[in-house]
Structure 1
Amino acid sequence: MNLNDRQRRFLFGGLVVLLTAIGLYLTFAAPEDEPGRPKARPSGTPTAGPPGPASPPPGIQNPVNPGQFDIYRLLPFNREEFAAAADLAQRFVAAYGTYRFDEAPETYATRLSGFVTDDLKAQLARDAATPGLLEERRQDQVVAQGSASLDQVRTIENNSIIFLVTGTQRVSEGTTESSDRKRYAVTVARDGGSLKIYSFEPADVGQAGDTG
């Protein structure tokens, strides 16, 4: 194809404009448009976090299988809480029945304080400091070693469990030894973020279950 001078000038100018445009594009193109570079996620699109724990189904909807029945699905206390409450009740009764004539009542009350609520702790401290009781134990040189057995669950409420616990004491009075057994109703209740002994009485007296 034969071009005159004017046509050649127009063609040359068009090529210059085209090459300039290509150069500007390559210079100012966004980095994410370059081949091989991953594109940035739009700032307005949140990333999905890990899925949360699945909530247990309400109650038991499937047919009950005696071999796989989980009673804790129906109780206000899970297995770990229930075991902790039972252990607390048993250890408390054993500690309650353990004392010596030659220890200060404050020592005895402090030993029990980790098991009980603040109100019950104050009551136990008053009982341990009863003058007549202290004098009798000192005169007879009483040493008692307590142990306890869990017998039964009496009541389960939303915030408390009442256990029937038998306390056994091996009592030494000077050179004389004997044993004594008493059964208590022990209420273990949620107290803040922990479990505490809320109250206890002889089992034949009974007591209210839930503490609120």
Structure 2
Amino acid sequence: MNLNDRQRKVLFAGLVVALALVGVYLTVASPGDEQDDPSDRPSAAVSATAGPTGPASPPAGIHSAVNPGDFDVYRLLPFSRQEFATAADLAQRFVAAYGTYRFDENPQAYIGRLSGLVTDELRGELARGAAAPGILDERRQQQVVAVGSSTLDRVRDIEDNSIIFLVTGKQQITRAGKDGADSKQYAVTVARDGGSLKVYSFQPAEAGQAGDTGDRG
């Protein structure tokens, strides 16, 4: 077929466009370039940083008629029996450790015995108090040695994530060569701290609400 110059140019342009279209099609539909599958993508790590917003052991509740001979109060409380026992033991051990110290002991050793029982914030407060120059000087001058013990008295209050115990701390004290004894009741708050229970705060029992103040007449 004989083509003039104009016809050849038109044919060449048509072939260029056709080849370009074929290249686009092969690029889009090529078997080697499969469509992206979301399941093949690396998953993003999720970090849960928020603390507990409710009880770790929600009350199971009681749906049947209450049987006084088989009544499980823990079904109505935000703490299990095990958690309750752990919190009570923690409060009792803390008060005993708090009341045990020596005039020749490094304050860091004293705080070390309390570290596993209390929150980081309370530990800092106790450390500052134990290192106060006035307290250290007095104990050294009188060579004070105190051995603490404690009795768990009762529960003052229960919240979703904390329990307040009344604990009496007792001390056998040697001061300036003389033996003596002291006793003081504390309100000790044990709270959930991450995945464990820790002493969150404490104060003399008379400084807080004593609980039931109604007439018992």
1:92 to 80, 91, 94: 94
Q: Which residue of 1 aligns with 2:124?
A: 122
**Percent of aligned pairs with the same residue?**
69
Q: Which residue of 1 aligns with 2:141?
A: 139
Name the aligned partner's letter for residue 131 of structure 1.
P
What's the CA shift for 1:57?
9.3
State the TM-score, normalized to the length of structure 2: 0.68
1:65 to 55, 62, 67: 67
Name the aligned partner's letter for residue 141 of structure 1.
Q
Contact 2:59 2:77 in 1 (8 A): no
Q: Which residue of 2 aligns with 1:106?
A: 108
1:133 is paired with a residue of what secondary structure? helix
Contact 2:119 2:193 in 1 (8 A): yes
1:204 is paired with a residue of what secondary structure? helix
1:67 is paired with a residue of what secondary structure? helix
1:87 is paired with a residue of what secondary structure? helix
Structure having the higher Rg: 1
2:136 is paired with a residue of what secondary structure? helix
What's the CA shift for 1:59?
1.2
1:122 is paired with a residue of what secondary structure? helix
Seen in structure 2, the aligned counterparts of structure 1 residues 58 and 163 have a Cα distance that, compared at 3 Å, is: closer
How many residues of Structure 1 are paired with residues of Structure 2 in the alignment?
A: 154
- Cα deviation, 1:47-84, whole Å, max 9, x if unaligned, reads xxxxxxxxx99511111111110000000000000000
Q: Which residue of 2 aligns with 1:28?
A: none
Name the aligned partner's letter for residue 85 of structure 1.
A
2:79 is paired with a residue of what secondary structure? coil
1:84 is paired with a residue of what secondary structure? helix
- Cα deviation, 1:117-157, whole Å, max 9, x if unaligned, reads 00000000000000010000000000000000010100000
State the TM-score, normalized to the length of structure 1: 0.70
Unaligned runs of 5+ in 2: 1-57, 210-217
- RMSD between superposed Cα atoms in Å: 1.9
Distance between the aligned counterparts of 2:60 and 2:197, measured in 1? 25
Distance between the aligned counterparts of 2:163 and 2:62, measured in 1? 22
Distance between the aligned counterparts of 1:143 and 1:193, measured in 2? 36
Distance between the aligned counterparts of 1:148 and 1:93, measured in 2? 6
Residues 41-80 of structure 1 aligned to structure 2 (within 5 Å) = 58-80=60-82
1:191 to 164, 185, 193: 193
Seen in structure 2, the aligned counterparts of structure 1 residues 58 and 121 have a Cα distance that, compared at 3 Å, is: closer
Contact 2:155 2:164 in 1 (8 A): yes
Unaligned runs of 5+ in 1: 1-55, 208-212
Detail structure 1 runs of 4+ shifted over 3 Å in the superposition: none
Seen in structure 2, the aligned counterparts of structure 1 residues 73 and 200 have a Cα distance that, compared at 3 Å, is: same
